[in-house]
Structure 1
């Protein structure tokens, strides 16, 4: 029995939501379009009126995920103002929260092998999400002397990589990857070490 029904004119979104359920349970390569159709309560032929193949369906799930992700990044940044440090740290925590709350979207975005350049719409919203990280990094990097200041894109990439690593290794219940510390603590202390190295926080922060 399908988990979610659909109304006339909303079949496309019903298929995306069915795919998100299947991605979360079986992984991005573990289901077929026919299974997505069954999950949505429609015939397989109906899927092809909206998506040419499974990758197109996953790409749309990823696009919607990036919209949510970018909104969360923007909200986290704004909530931390006027402190550049608080905004920066909040964006890292938002990354962890997103992965936990929207696992199907997260997998479609980062683990499906779908390129962000597959469609112009996906590329645009993915760039918006990256810009949120870079904006937080740009604001915080202004407190570093110019001669010691890394480019904001590098600065944000470091934090993105640290956040992503914590999520992948310790927040997704991967086999054999249990940490004695909560993921939030790992991320906070890791970011703190990085920021201390740049002279942005005192040693006892």
Structure 2
């Protein structure tokens, strides 16, 4: 069977999709460009028309991941929800959902060692994702007296860190890391405790 080579409809995206599968299966350093090219049905030389090396290919996978992630978070923080607190909690659930549905993107974004500043496009996508959470935190912070109001960036960073920790420890199926509670329940409880500490939720 002849290789599709440059006649591939969208070779660049085909390589990214092949890399995403390999990243999810083998990790960001567990595959070669030749393997990605083979999975995409092209010769290794064809890869270099689009990417200078494996790191550039992973960076593009990460960029696309941040775009998807930002869209999900933006959708989750819907101001049409009953309360701003409910909307904010939804962003945490969206984080868990993203990690489960897009494992290749997740690893490329957070475990590949690729800097978000590797390219201007990646930096913009990452900043947009971070900005969604910061806007959500800023909206919630409006209910806190100015003198007691934490910076929105710190507020969102705490929730991001909590969400990421639950994903890493309990939501990715790592052996020996089983929790007696579902990851969603752990995160919801953690966010609840945090928001109560800020006075945004009444004590039980």
**TM-score bracket for the superposition, by shorter chain length:** over 0.9
Is 1:133 aligned to 2:136, yes or no?
no
Is 1:39 aligned to 2:39, yes or no?
yes
Report the count of equivalent residues.
200
Q: Could you tell me how far apart the structure 2 residues matched to 1:138 and 1:98 are? A: 23
Residue 169 and residue 187 in structure 1: after superposition, are their counterparts in 2 closer, same or farther (change >3 A)?
same
SS of 1:78's equivalent? coil
Q: What's the offset of the Cα at 1:50?
A: 0.7
1:48 maps to 48
CA contact (8 A) 1:6 1:40 kept: no
Q: What's the offset of the Cα at 1:81?
A: 3.7
Q: Could you tell me how far apart the structure 1 residues matched to 2:80 and 2:37 are? A: 42
Q: Could you tell me how far apart the structure 1 residues matched to 2:13 and 2:90 are? A: 30
Q: What's the offset of the Cα at 1:83?
A: 2.1
Residue 6 and residue 78 in structure 1: after superposition, are their counterparts in 2 closer, same or farther (change >3 A)?
farther
1:20 maps to 20
Q: Could you tell me how far apart the structure 2 residues matched to 1:67 and 1:132 are? A: 11
1:150 maps to 150
CA contact (8 A) 2:76 2:90 kept: yes
SS of 2:158's equivalent? helix
Q: Could you tell me how far apart the structure 1 residues matched to 2:75 and 2:64 are? A: 17
Q: What's the offset of the Cα at 1:145?
A: 1.2
1:68 maps to 68
1:78 maps to 78
Q: Could you tell me how far apart the structure 1 residues matched to 2:9 and 2:118 are? A: 25
Residue 8 and residue 134 in structure 1: after superposition, are their counterparts in 2 closer, same or farther (change >3 A)?
same
CA contact (8 A) 2:66 2:129 kept: yes
After TM superposition, the score normalised by the length of structure 1 is 0.94
Is 1:197 aligned to 2:188, yes or no?
no
Residue 98 and residue 7 in structure 1: after superposition, are their counterparts in 2 closer, same or farther (change >3 A)?
farther
Aligned Cα RMSD in Å? 1.5
Query: After superposition, what is the alpha-carbon deviation per residue over 1:130-161, rounded to whole angstroms, capped at 9, x for unaligned?
Result: 00000110000111111111000000000000
Q: What's the offset of the Cα at 1:8?
A: 3.1
Could you tell me which runs of 5 or more consecutive residues in structure 2 were left unpaired when the two chains were aligned: none
Query: After superposition, what is the alpha-carbon deviation per residue over 1:167-188, rounded to whole angstroms, capped at 9, x for unaligned?
Result: 0000011121111100000000
SS of 2:28's equivalent? coil
CA contact (8 A) 2:6 2:46 kept: no
Q: Could you tell me how far apart the structure 2 residues matched to 1:77 and 1:192 are? A: 16
